[in-house]
Amino acid sequence: SPQLYHPHDMRMNSTNHYFARPFGRHTATRLADGRVLIAGGWQRLAGQDESSVSSAAFIFDPATLTTTPTGSMHRARTNHQAVLLNSGRVLVVGGLGPPNVNGIFPGIPEAETFDPVTGTWTIVGQTIDTRWEHTLTRLDCPAAEPGCSWGGRVLVFGGFTDTWPVVNAGLF
């Protein structure tokens, strides 16, 4: 079940809210309105003994401690990363897809954005290298440099490819 950290008390409290399925290696991204987008990862579906890579997404509302399904990603993925964009959308990049017939988890090249107003996902491009266990960092302009050229872009850094750690970074 999700837990809430109380910084004033420096303690964790249970929300007493239980999801219908367990999650792992998903992303949880705070939206501009305070709700949280939970996307992808390993999820055990009802009636299954094993977990699988999922495209499902949910919205957790900390005000009501409720979780509701929202639109699914175009690609099932785990070990991906997500970041809130200045537009209020969420960018999801990379990760691993469900295993192929050889048992290999392929890298996901497509990047997607989630629109919290409509609850829908849109594929917005591809990475040069498929990668997972990387980082995404939104680049904001410092107050001293209004209108800088990198404001609102996202740095994609590090992680792993099919065989090696990634040695390059990219801007989205």
pLDDT of residue 40: 93
Rounded to an integer, what distance in angstroms lies between the CA atom of residue 133 and that of residue 25? 10
* Mean pLDDT over each residue of the chain, to the nearest integer: 82
**Is 7's pLDDT higher than 80?**
no
Predicted model pTM: 0.82
pLDDT tens string 116-156: 999 999 999 888 788 888 888 898 877 677 777 777 888 88
For 108, residues 6+ apart whose C-beta sits below 8 A from its C-beta are: 75, 77, 80, 94, 95, 96, 97, 130, 132
